[in-house]
Amino acid sequence: MEGQSKGSFNVMEESERNGKGRCGSMVGTCDLVLRVLAFVLTLVAAVVIGADKQTAIVPFKLVESMPPLYVPVAAKWHYLSAFVYFVGANAIACAYATLSLLFSLGNRRKGMESLISVFDTLMVALLFSSNGAAIAVGLLGLQGNLHLHWNKVCNVFGKFCDQVAASLFISLLGSITFLLLLLLPHVFRLKQTT
């Protein structure tokens, strides 16, 4: 302990010095588990939608009196800006989860705790906003919009839509994990006072 500067600390060591060893080590353990989970979930969400593409043969009528032409049409995630935002947001959250996990494993200064909380909040906002955008576009693909004459496409690109839905669900779990990282210290603090 003598070799460490006074400004650095480990979450578990700090709470043990305050006489809250069991609860502090629980916070540190939960923090690490949630950061690993956030990393895995955001990585999987980005990879699942990033690998999503499907080609289907679609009938296309030029003139009503003639038979339809069958044209191959591809659906890829990068054709829709909401999905590009979704992949980017999950990639950023995944990279941040990696960095914050490294900081959690090493010693942190008190100022770093606040900075990590701020970035955790940014990741929650980023992930929930990208999830909302992707869900809105996904619902348009699933149901269409009769008022604007936008046809639904999930009846043609079923596999594509299923992968998008799976990725959205996984990313929502990642968002909730980052939210739990924000709430965790407060929950344990409330538990200590009771």
Q: Encoding tokens for residue 101?
A: 């996990």
Regarding predicted confidence, which is higher, 22 or 80? 80
Mean pLDDT of 81-95: 97
User: 107-146 pLDDT, tens per residue?
Assistant: 666 667 788 889 999 999 999 999 999 999 999 998 888 8
Domain boundaries along the sequence of the chain: 11-193
Q: Encoding tokens for residue 151?
A: 């046809």
Please state, in angstroms and rounded to a whole number, the distance separating the CA atoms of residues 5 and 1.
8
Strands 53-60 and 8-9: unpaired
Residue 182 clears pLDDT 70, i.e. is over it: yes
Cβ neighbours for 50, distance < 8 A, ≥ 6 positions apart: 77, 87
Q: What pLDDT is stored for residue 18 in this prediction?
A: 46
* Whether the Cβ atoms of residue 83 and residue 135 lie closer than 8 Å to each other: no
Dihedral sign from CA coordinates of 101, 103, 106, 109: negative
Residue 75 clears pLDDT 70, i.e. is over it: yes
Residue 15 clears pLDDT 70, i.e. is over it: no
Mean pLDDT of 76-80: 90
Phi (first) and psi of residue 54, to 5 degrees: -150, 140
In three-state secondary structure terms, 74 is: strand
Q: What pLDDT is stored for residue 25 in this prediction?
A: 72
Flag the least confident range among 53-62, 88-97, 159-168.
Answer: 53-62
